[in-house]
Amino acid sequence: MNMNPTRTSLYEAFCDPLTHCALEVTGHRGLKNGDGTTYKFLDGDESIVDFLATTGASAADVANLKMYDDQSPTERYRNFLRWLFQTFKVSEAEFRTDLLARLKISGGMKVLVIGCGLGEDVAIIHQAIGAGGELHAQDISKSMVKAASDSIDSPNVCFSISNALSLPYKSRYFDVVFHFGGINLFGNMQKAIAELERVCKIGGRVMFGDEGIAPHLRGTEYANILINNNGLWALEAPMHQLPHNAAGIEITYVLGNCFYLISFRPQEGLPKVDLDVPHVGTRGGSARTRYFGRLEGVTPETKDKLVEAARARGISAHALLEEIINRQIPSGQ
């Protein structure tokens, strides 16, 4: 039986999770890298690529996977979600629809869901991207991925069992990268966020969130009761761990202000700034000269003398200092 050509094209999104080198389809077995290592389709299911079986699980991965070791991981997960939405008096369906609407997904987009769980968000996103879009979903739990895959059968949807700290996806491939509820436990927050940014296109959208009570509620009885129930709610939104090229940053809080939600757009390099715009005033200079042109300190009296002389001549202290130094020390000396 031949592979569905649409699904085959989805494999182009993948790369080796350790080297980021390209992978090629090897019959109906899986995806192979240049040295022959094969990442197999799970139980012959060509919609699921199992990277974890080959790369192995870290200590943090093993700890997380313990939550799914019993005979009913799906029931356990669903029980938690029922408790969560009942506690915050929110319809799960309405919450997910509102949450995903923030991604502004449109037809034809390439979207990646990190930590897809049972796939509750997959169907909503799949409808938004249409037949011309491309949807990938990832989770570290084999049982979760199998359940999510069973919930949808479409040639433009593909799953992976993999580590979120070493995503098996090409850099700058996706228009939208989304994760909600789990990143606090990934083991290395900064690396996890960096991976979300790496696989997103420049100008695309990254959005992620997890437990973390809003700052204005900290210290209240409301917060203390919830943190006592779940210590993860004591964590703070990791704004300081965003990549330096993050732009259009937004943060909001959802579900009783107990979950942070951060979004940003990757851009090329740092924010665009002109460091050479001159300052008008007695001090003068520019942001660049004030930083790179700092000289050895002088006495307050000498500094006052410079400022007074500059004012008397109607120029800035920066301009007068440049003139004095260049006159006293000609070029080439």
Q: What is the pLDDT of residues 234-262, one digit of tens each?
A: 999 999 999 999 999 999 999 999 999 99
What single letter denotes the amino acid at residue 63?
Answer: A
Q: What is the pLDDT of residues 137-190, one digit of tens each?
A: 999 999 899 999 999 989 999 999 999 999 999 999 999 999 999 999 998 999
The confidence score (pLDDT) of residue 75 equals 80
CA contacts within 13 A on the Cβ side of 39: 27
Domain range 46-266, CATH class: alpha beta
Question: Strand 259-266's sheet: what is its strand order?
Answer: 24-26, 30-32, 38-42, 45-50, 157-161, 134-139, 110-114, 174-180, 200-211, 259-266, 246-254
Q: Which two tokens stand for residue 68?
A: 């799914």
DSSP count for the chain of H helices, then E strands: 12, 11
- Is 296 within 8 Å of 309 (Cβ atoms)? no
Q: Which two tokens stand for residue 161?
A: 């069992």
Q: Which two tokens stand for residue 148?
A: 């999510």
At 136, phi and psi to the nearest 5? -120, 145
Q: What is the pLDDT of residues 35-77, one digit of tens each?
A: 999 999 999 899 999 999 887 766 666 666 666 545 566 788 8
Q: Which two tokens stand for residue 56?
A: 């192995």
* β-strand pairing of 200-211 with 157-161: unpaired
**What phi-psi label fits residue 174: left (phi over 0), alpha (psi between -120 and 50 degrees) or beta?**
beta
What is the average pLDDT across 90-110? 96
The secondary structure of the chain in percent helix, strand, coil, rounded to multiples of 5, reads 40, 20, 40
Q: Could you tell me what percent of the chain has a pLDDT over 70?
A: 92
Q: Where are the domains of the chain?
A: 46-266, 287-328
- Is 318 within 8 Å of 283 (Cβ atoms)? yes
Burial bucket for residue 124 (CB in 10 Å: 0-12, 13-18, 19+): middle
The confidence score (pLDDT) of residue 2 equals 45
- CA–CA separation, 166 vs 250, rounded Å? 25
What single letter denotes the amino acid at residue 234?
Answer: A
pLDDT greater than 80 at residue 203: yes
Residue 215 DSSP class: G
User: Strand runs (DSSP E) across 212-299, as ranges?
Assistant: 246-254, 259-266
Where is average pLDDT lowest: 77-81, 159-163, 307-311?
77-81
- Predicted confidence band of residue 27 (pLDDT cuts 50, 70, 90): confident
Question: How much is the pTM?
Answer: 0.89
The confidence score (pLDDT) of residue 210 equals 98
Q: What is the pLDDT of residues 107-119, one digit of tens each?
A: 999 999 999 999 9
What is the average pLDDT across 289-302? 91
What is the average pLDDT across 305-314? 94
